[in-house]
Amino acid sequence: MRKKSSTKDLGLSSNERLSLKNKSFFAPKKYRNLKPKNFEIYTFHAGFKKKLDDLLIVIFDRPVRTTTVYSKTSMPSAPIIWDKINNKGYVRVLIVNSGNANAHTGKIGIKTINEYANYMSKYIGCKKSEILVSSTGIIGEMFHSKIIKNQINKINKKSKKTILDAAKAIMTTDTYPKIAIKTVRLKNNSLKIYGICKGSGMINPKMGTMLVYIFIEADLSKKILKKLLSDNLEDTFNSISNDSDTSTSDTLALFSTSNKKINWNINKNYEILTLSMFELMHDLSQQVVKDGEGINKLIKINILKSKSKKQAKNIGFSIVNSPLVKTAVSGEDANWGRVIAAIGKSQEKLNQNKIKVFFGKNLVCENGSVNKNINSKYLEKYMKNKTIEISVILNNGFVNHTVYGNDLSHEYIRINADYRS
Amino acid sequence: MRKKSSTKDLGLSSNERLSLKNKSFFAPKKYRNLKPKNFEIYTFHAGFKKKLDDLLIVIFDRPVRTTTVYSKTSMPSAPIIWDKINNKGYVRVLIVNSGNANAHTGKIGIKTINEYANYMSKYIGCKKSEILVSSTGIIGEMFHSKIIKNQINKINKKSKKTILDAAKAIMTTDTYPKIAIKTVRLKNNSLKIYGICKGSGMINPKMGTMLVYIFIEADLSKKILKKLLSDNLEDTFNSISNDSDTSTSDTLALFSTSNKKINWNINKNYEILTLSMFELMHDLSQQVVKDGEGINKLIKINILKSKSKKQAKNIGFSIVNSPLVKTAVSGEDANWGRVIAAIGKSQEKLNQNKIKVFFGKNLVCENGSVNKNINSKYLEKYMKNKTIEISVILNNGFVNHTVYGNDLSHEYIRINADYRS
């Protein structure tokens, strides 16, 4: 069933070809691209992928304060295990490879990281604990540390790359690179935030989501870094789901890259910063969900008037992860009965006679049954949109929450059954 | 996208055509078929479906002691709400229609049932509380009680049907009827158990699974009926999942149909009975999972040496419901990395270095990494089988549990995106 050479061979692997050929409808038309200050970006073709760049090395001018969150999986990859043991909250070098997840590779996987991390630390002159590593790609395959060490030897200030190159080098089945840049204008100061990430398959918000790196051009305390995360993670990366599968490798890291001192206690400076962070993280997480494997339609679920955020998220994910809802949206069928069934599956205690469901602005049911005055012509037309918004008013409290997912189409099966990933 | 008339029109609806055309590979080659004692079976074409019989009426000789379990959904269908209010544990008449679930139909849905149940109770001369009702099919559509009352008028002892006819009349997207018959031979006695059920989509074990009716030819106390359920439900209907969606209508009913008195305290009589019940319920639940929408392959997950049944089930379902595992099996790819990721997704605390994973008899990983001596020729050949057995030895305790599911293929998308259900 693996059609590894069914299309014209460009020297690319099947996944590389697949990504190039089937760019998501939602792919951005153009990108901002910059060479940020305070750190250098290098990318290489190390050989994990057939042809494209697959190794990112970011070197900071000095060890920068860093906060990370990892997948809640109980089968963490070697890089997650390694980072948790070694990293102490300061990073001089970030090393990310794509194409091999170094997951379920046992003691050898850890040994491999030790080898290339030690090599890097000697090369640059920093502590091993100041290295942060990530890997993404196929689970269960070993690789030799030489593959990375050989590229470290090629680091050359003359070949510095851009933030867009960095985003490209960490892609796997992503069909487009994901970057976001924000300028934060404070009272007496201004700074930039640069974010890159990758996603695509195995996206489910048990924590962070796949690989996300955010570089903030300021000297932030550990407390501020953690607060920025806790303020913004739940409503961004923890509110998306492509296929309800959770990765072994999910990692989000926040780097405080500059020594620019800013007083966060005055002039609403922190509010402005966290708002920019929200915008950036929302933007990146939207880019991830919009590039879900096989996506044809983006599904936005608004849960309104819930008794708690927990309840709203539980119901929202129950709907957006339901294969029957996902296939209905794929088929452009406003099958609200499946939405009701998915609400019920959450097992949240609700009075079904109080619930209203909308597809876009079209009320499809209320008072426990169908809206008889439904305009089916409008509804059918609405379902042809690329973004389908389903709003559920629970009338069970005062909390609103929105989650995002995508439809389940033949394309998802094609990517995951017909090709090896 | 709804191709309602794309194939030759036989007067059938798209779902009826779909079922007839695409019979599951696992469909039984032949059926045992009997007209049981102690109750009469009638089936009719009431008009919920286009052409096939869609109404089952079972009339017991006398009110029989009955135990039921229902879906744990928080959006129960009108029949479930009605049964819970009205039925007191004795049933004279069972009425089941297929093609319309009478779910999320508000007060009108309840009124409809009251009308046809009252009509039935007068017709046969029993209490309203001795009627049990179920409905399965599309959610959110109303129907008039006349549709059922008209058929009640046609009940005629000369047109009694068989147990196979009963199984056929409750089908929706099922591609074959599901029946099982067991003869229980006790020390001084013998009795039969007849079971019918239907399944197909929205199958996830939050309780019972879709519609299951089991008729036991003996006079059983409420206590024995409940014990038979609690002894056998977890390992049968609560250990299967087709698409992880939970129905609004799941119902399982156990009828004690005869006045044959048996002493269950002697001669291991109860052990023999419960063993037969297990065999029958296992058989029926296997028939359901083997007719999952779009099934190409049956997936059997054995979780071995777990610390508890709860942990084993959590991990088993995490694997068997993973879209990435399901698509890998569909693509005949022994992608054990996705199995590891799915184990991790369960968030159960485990030592990944102790886990062994087998595809069939092929050990694919141990000691936290790949089995290097794997015979990939054997493994590739194994993946071509129609039943794929994945065994995970956790080495975390002494409990074993098996769950069943199926692959995720283009056929599932075709049924649920391209056609309305």
| Residues above pLDDT 90, as percent of chain A | 58
Q: How far is A238 from chain B (nearest CA, A)?
A: 15
Alpha helices in A290-330 (DSSP H): 309-320, 323-330
Contact A344 B246 (CB under 8 A): yes
Q: Looking at residue A399, what is its pLDDT?
A: 93
Q: How far is A170 from chain B (nearest CA, A)?
A: 20
Tell me: the pLDDT tens digits for A110-133?
A: 999 999 999 999 999 999 999 999
Asked if B203 contacts B247 with a C-beta cutoff of 8 angstroms, the reply is: yes
Q: Looking at residue A5, what is its pLDDT?
A: 34
Contact B335 A420 (CB under 8 A): yes
Q: Which residues of B touch A421 (CB under 8 A)?
A: 335
Q: Given a cut of 60, is residue A7 above it in pLDDT? A: no
Q: Looking at residue A256, what is its pLDDT?
A: 92
Q: How far is B350 from chain A (nearest CA, A)?
A: 7
Contact A352 B142 (CB under 8 A): no
- Which chain B residue has the Cα nearest residue A368? B106
Q: Given a cut of 70, is residue A207 above it in pLDDT? A: no
Q: Looking at residue A316, what is its pLDDT?
A: 95
Q: In this complex, which of B104, B328, B416 lies closest to A340 when CB atoms are compared?
A: B104
Q: Looking at residue B225, what is its pLDDT?
A: 94
Element (H, E) at A179: strand A178-186
Q: Looking at residue A123, what is its pLDDT?
A: 96
B348 touches chain A (CB under 8 A): yes
Q: Using a cut of 0.95, tell me whether the model's pTM lies above it.
A: no
Q: Average pLDDT in the A152-181 region?
A: 92
| Residues above pLDDT 90, as percent of chain B | 59
Q: Looking at residue A11, what is its pLDDT?
A: 60
Q: Given a cut of 70, is residue A34 above it in pLDDT? A: yes
Tell me the average pLDDT of chain A: 87
B82 touches chain A (CB under 8 A): no
Q: Which residues of B touch A105 (CB under 8 A)?
A: 368-370
Q: How far is B306 from chain A (nearest CA, A)?
A: 15
Q: Looking at residue A54, what is its pLDDT?
A: 96
Residues 218-247 (A) with a CB less than 8 A from some CB of B: 243-247
What is the biggest distance separating any 2 CA atoms in chain A, rounded to whole angstroms? 72
Contact B337 A101 (CB under 8 A): yes
A327 touches chain B (CB under 8 A): yes
pLDDT less than 50: residues of chain B? 1-10, 201-203, 205-209, 421
Residues 173-192 (A) with a CB less than 8 A from some CB of B: none
CA distance B61 to B41: 11
Contact A1 B332 (CB under 8 A): yes
- Which chain A residue has the Cα nearest residue B138? A337
Tell me: the pLDDT tens digits for A60-103?
A: 999 999 999 888 788 889 999 999 999 999 999 999 999 999 99
A257 touches chain B (CB under 8 A): no
Q: Looking at residue A73, what is its pLDDT?
A: 80
Q: Looking at residue A351, what is its pLDDT?
A: 92
**Dihedral angle computed from the Cα positions of residues A203, A109, B301 and A412, in that order, rounded to the nearest 10 degrees:** 30
Q: Which residues of B touch A139 (CB under 8 A)?
A: 337-338, 340-341
Q: How far is A207 from chain B (nearest CA, A)?
A: 11
Tell me: the pLDDT tens digits for B357-389?
A: 999 999 999 988 999 999 999 999 999 999 999
Q: In this complex, which of A72, A101, A345 lies closest to B245 when CB atoms are compared?
A: A345
* Residue B291 vs residues A418, B174, B340: alpha-carbon distances, Å: 23, 6, 27
* Residue A135 vs residues A101, A170, B84, B172, B372: alpha-carbon distances, Å: 5, 9, 53, 46, 22
Asked if B413 contacts A410 with a C-beta cutoff of 8 angstroms, the reply is: yes
Contact A343 B75 (CB under 8 A): yes
Residues 364-393 (A) with a CB less than 8 A from some CB of B: 365, 367-370
Tell me: the pLDDT tens digits for A280-297?
A: 999 998 888 888 878 889
Contact B368 A104 (CB under 8 A): yes
Q: Give SS3 for A322.
A: coil
- Which chain B residue has the Cα nearest residue A334? B420
Q: In this complex, which of A2, A107, A248 lies closest to B331 when CB atoms are compared?
A: A2
Note the Cα B145 to chain centre separation in Å.
Answer: 27
Q: How big, in percent rounded to 5, are the helix, strand and coil portions of chain A?
A: 35, 25, 40
Asked if A405 contacts A241 with a C-beta cutoff of 8 angstroms, the reply is: yes
B73 or A166, which is more confident: A166
List domains and CATH numbers for chain A: 14-289 (3.60.70.12), 298-418 (3.10.20.340)
Q: Given a cut of 70, is residue A188 above it in pLDDT? A: yes
B9 touches chain A (CB under 8 A): no
Q: How far apart are the first and last CA of chain B?
A: 13
Asked if B251 contacts B206 with a C-beta cutoff of 8 angstroms, the reply is: no
Q: Looking at residue A209, what is its pLDDT?
A: 39
Q: Check the CA dihedral B144-B148-B149-B153 and report its sign.
A: positive
Q: Looking at residue B9, what is its pLDDT?
A: 42
- Give me the catalytic one of A68, A105, A209, A251: A209
Residue with tokens 């920019």: A276
Verify whether residue B209 is a known catalytic residue: yes
Contact B73 A419 (CB under 8 A): no
Q: Which residues of A touch B347 (CB under 8 A)?
A: 72-74, 206
* Residue B227 vs residues A83, B67, B220, B231, B278: alpha-carbon distances, Å: 51, 10, 11, 6, 12
Contact B106 A367 (CB under 8 A): yes
Q: Average pLDDT in the A174-182 region?
A: 90
Q: How far is B246 from chain A (nearest CA, A)?
A: 5
